[in-house]
Amino acid sequence: MRVLEMPVAKTPLQDLTRRVGFVPQNPGRLLFNETLEEELNFTCRAHNLPTTHVPELLERLGLSEHRNSYPRDLSVGEQQRAALAAILIAEPELLLLDEPTRGLDYVSKERLVSILKDLRARGVTILMATHDVELVALCADRILIVGNGEIVADGDTRAVMQESQVFSSQISKLLRDENYITVQDVLNALTIGVGSPRPTPNE
């Protein structure tokens, strides 16, 4: 197996983790320092990076008030964000996420979506394994649906959601039109007005 042209079996772990970040479904597995701030500082030291961006990242993830908290005392959603912060501080090129919205409330999920979109705009590749189809509708360019160990669907998010009755967003199930898979798509159409040309997915 090769990741970012690196043979995984022969590449030192430190080199892999500098370019590839992984947040597991159980974020507590990544948290072992006495404070949240120290979690991020540890990652920076491990990769010879400055710690100057730690306060900014904690603020972006809504974790500033927990900077001196023991990470394992945080709620499940807060631990999820804490683990994400500990990975993102290294600025990986490839981010692997396993059920990233587990334990997140609506506000935290909105914050996560904003961060993922920002990372994508910066050129970070993001792979998510998730059952959260609403998250997929908001963030993903491409969907692979896996069943019984086989890929049963692979394609553009909007096209796949239009074809699937099970793995599609609520808006997609309601309207069955690939132009409309999120609430924002509908709001954009309403803003344009009745009688105007139908918006494209990028509008």
CATH code at 104?
3.40.50.300
pTM across the whole model: 0.84
What pLDDT was estimated at residue 36? 96
* Within-domain flag for 53: yes
What pLDDT was estimated at residue 192? 67
* Within-domain flag for 193: no
178 within 8 A of 171, measured Cβ to Cβ: no
133 within 8 A of 103, measured Cβ to Cβ: no
What pLDDT was estimated at residue 195? 47
* Within-domain flag for 29: yes
* Within-domain flag for 151: no
109 within 8 A of 133, measured Cβ to Cβ: no
Residues of the chain with pLDDT under 70: 192-203
Report the domain count for the chain: 1
| Residue range(s) defining the domain that contains residue 62 | 2-130
What pLDDT was estimated at residue 130? 94
For residues 119, 120, 122, 127, the Cα torsion angle rounded to the nearest 10 degrees is 80
* Within-domain flag for 91: yes
Q: What pLDDT digit, counting tens, does each position of 148-202 carry?
A: 889 999 999 999 998 887 888 999 999 889 899 999 999 998 886 544 445 555 5
What pLDDT was estimated at residue 164? 83
